[in-house]
Structure formats: C-alpha cells, structure tokens
C-alpha cells in the first residue's frame, strides 16, 4: 500500500489528481475494508513513515497476512480509525464527550463501512 507503487503518468499518459474529498463525493473511493495497524515506523522527528498492517484476508494474502502501508497511503485512503480514548488527541475526546452527534444521511460515504 504505497501511493508511489505505480507510475500511471508513464504507463497510461494520465495523472490521477482527485483529492480525497473528491474521490469520496464521486464514489471513486470508499470505506470497504477494515484492517488492524499493529506497528508504526517513525522518523527522527516522530513523524509516521510506514505502518505494519494485519489484514483480515487470511495468511494467503501479503506476507502471511501482513502488509506494509506508507504514511502517504494512510493519508490518502484511510477514512476512519478506532483507538482508545486515552491515546486520542484531547480535542477529539472533547467532541466525543460533548454528546452532540450529527446524524448522517443514508447516502453519506462515511457510513459505508459502519
């Protein structure tokens, strides 16, 4: 899982240029699969470089069920994460605990995996 794995410009003479929001709005991308991130490699500044991912497709996919996801891929194609509250940034915990949920319409792409 790496945004630089394929060179579409050279191979097909086209550049993929939709934003994450545009891909969601046009159903070009959606939340269709859940995985477990089990480790992260960080650089000397503490920024994520890549993640070790355990997939639910069994041990016949990837390296015995394991994959590597770059931080660029995470930023482009990960839409939801579930973490313990104690690890979440305080501003998001405050929003959660405020108890003012927004009900999304049934066609909203953020509910496709839930």
3-state secondary structure of 79: coil
Q: What is the pLDDT of residue 42?
A: 96
Q: Residue 111 pLDDT > 90, yes or no?
A: no
3-state secondary structure 34-60: CCEEEEEEECCCCCEEEEEEECCCCCC
Residue pLDDT, tens place only, 73-104: 999 988 888 889 999 999 999 999 998 888 77
Residue pLDDT, tens place only, 27-74: 888 777 788 899 999 999 999 999 999 987 778 888 888 999 999 999
Q: To the nearest whole percent, how much of the chain has pLDDT over 70?
A: 96
The larger pLDDT score, comparing residue 102 to residue 21, is at: 21
């Amino acid at each position: 899982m790496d945004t630089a794995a394929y060179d579409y410009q050279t191979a097909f003479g086209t550049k993929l240029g939709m934003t994450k929001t545009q891909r969601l709005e046009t159903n070009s991308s959606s939340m269709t699969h859940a995985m477990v991130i089990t480790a992260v490699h960080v650089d000397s500044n503490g920024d994520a470089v890549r993640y070790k991912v355990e997939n639910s497709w069994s041990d016949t996919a990837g390296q015995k069920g394991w994959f590597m996801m770059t931080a660029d891929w995470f930023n482009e194609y990960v839409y939801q994460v579930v973490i313990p509250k104690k690890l979440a940034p305080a501003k998001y915990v405050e929003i959660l605990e405020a108890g003012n949920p927004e009900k999304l319409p049934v066609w909203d792409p953020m509910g496709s995996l839930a």
